[in-house]
Amino acid sequence: MSSPDSDNPAPRIMRRASAWTAAGLLAGGLYLLLIDTTSLPELIVAVAAAAIAATGFELAREEHTAGGVTVRLRWLATLHRALLKVPSDVAAVSFMALRQLVHPQRVNGTFRAVPFRCGAENDIEVGRRALAESFGSFAPNTIIVGVDVERELILGHQLRRTGGAGAIDVLGLGSETGGPGDP
């Protein structure tokens, strides 16, 4: 049985064009906000960057990799923790860079794994892990490698080892799951 769109490709093309245009406008607006100038060369670069970003978004949307991420508002309320780590992490990374100049070492940093409860695979769980990974890597001293769902661990690398489990799971999302029964 065919869908109504199979005979007429116009609705599908319109959806694609609308999504591409919206993504391009958002990307272009963000670019202009970041560069804070409207000189002709920068406007040309902005158009090119927006077109590339919109094309990437549309390709991801068509492959269903741009959707399926849902978050809870209470999780967003913890984002300030990642921002508060930035000044101390900049100081730590600067210290490590100076130390490396004076007393070079072959190996710097350490991998750390801390518990991170994982629930059933669903959109909210994917969103929780995505927040933990992206904002855990926001401050420069820590890079989150990923969440191991099978072992229920979050793995991160720190240039200078600092803090306990909260230094890796910055938002504290590893103590809860995003299952449907979770309020």
Q: What would the pLDDT profile of 67-94 be if each residue is shown by its tens digit? A: 556 678 888 889 999 999 999 999 999 9
Which residue is listed with tokens 């158009």?
47
- Per-residue model confidence (pLDDT) at position 103: 94
Q: Write out the E strands in the chain.
A: 110-115, 142-148, 153-158
Q: Is the CB of residue 79 less than 8 Å from the CB of residue 171?
A: yes
Residue 26's φ and ψ, nearest 5 degrees, are: -65, -45
pLDDT confidence of residue 182:
47
Domain boundaries, the chain: 4-62, 73-175
Closest CA to 69 of 137, 151, 156, 134: 134
CA-to-CA distance for 49 and 72, rounded, in angstroms? 31
